[in-house]
Amino acid sequence: MIKTIIFDFDGVIANTDEGRYKLLKDILPTYGLDFAISDYNKMIGLSTKSFLKRNYSELTEKEINLIVSERHKLYFENLDRYCIPFNGMTDIVEKFSHYFQLIVATTNATENVIKQMDFLNISQYFNYVFGREVMENTFLLKDYQNLASRPEFNVKESIVIEDSETGILSAKKSGYACIEFNSKEKTKNENSDYCVNNYYDLYNLVLKLKLE
């Protein structure tokens, strides 16, 4: 029986990656770097710092920190443009909050994801928020093992909702069942247990699983 639903934030609760792409596309050329649409998928599931470290070895640590800070400033000054909730998200999350323990688990800094949740007016529906301080490992990758090791987040009674391959693989490796939130209707990731394209399908799937 499902008692806990664990949500990723970027790409599951809100479409933030398109905004991040637009911002980096403006910022990186000032460092003499190209940022093409083909780089978009490399970014999904990684923090901006992790993405830059993995794909732009020519950048110094100082330059990476400057880029991250500039993107962060522009993003939070324009949340109405860059933090776009998925259709039906607020309504469905509110409904879920009456039946399940709800968690956000993300590689955002905790204080930053809370700011975004407050902006979307959904903080009141979630029991816990875990950011990169808990969810990012020493390789700067998302890691669900810290949650899985805690008895209050029993993997047998929880399900994770993820959009990225990195997140799906980590959730599965840690023992969680995983729903892929596939808003762009791409080919289903072979590692996810289930796949939905929108919040209404997610609601119906979770209710079905709750009854099993």
At residue 180, the 3 state secondary structure works out as strand
Q: Identify the pLDDT of residue 34.
A: 87
pTM of the model: 0.93
Q: Identify the pLDDT of residue 4.
A: 96
CATH 1.10.150 residue ranges of the chain are 16-81
CATH 3.40.50.1000 residue ranges of the chain are 4-15+84-211
- Whose CA is closest to 171, among 153, 146, 133, 144? 144
Residues of the chain scoring pLDDT < 50:
none
At residue 36, what are phi and psi to the nearest 5 degrees?
A: -95, 165
Q: Identify the pLDDT of residue 30.
A: 95
Q: Identify the pLDDT of residue 84.
A: 97
CATH superfamily of the 4-15+84-211 domain: HAD superfamily/HAD-like (3.40.50.1000)
Q: Identify the pLDDT of residue 127.
A: 98
Domain at 16-81: CATH architecture? Orthogonal Bundle (1.10)
Q: Identify the pLDDT of residue 37.
A: 82
Q: What angle do helix axes 61-77 and 17-27 make, rounded to 10 degrees?
A: 130
Q: Which residues pair with 194 in a beta bridge?
A: 179
Q: Identify the pLDDT of residue 24.
A: 96
Amino acid in the structure at residue 194 = Y
- Name 51's Cβ contacts closer than 8 Å, sequence gap at least 6: 42, 43
Q: Identify the pLDDT of residue 158.
A: 96
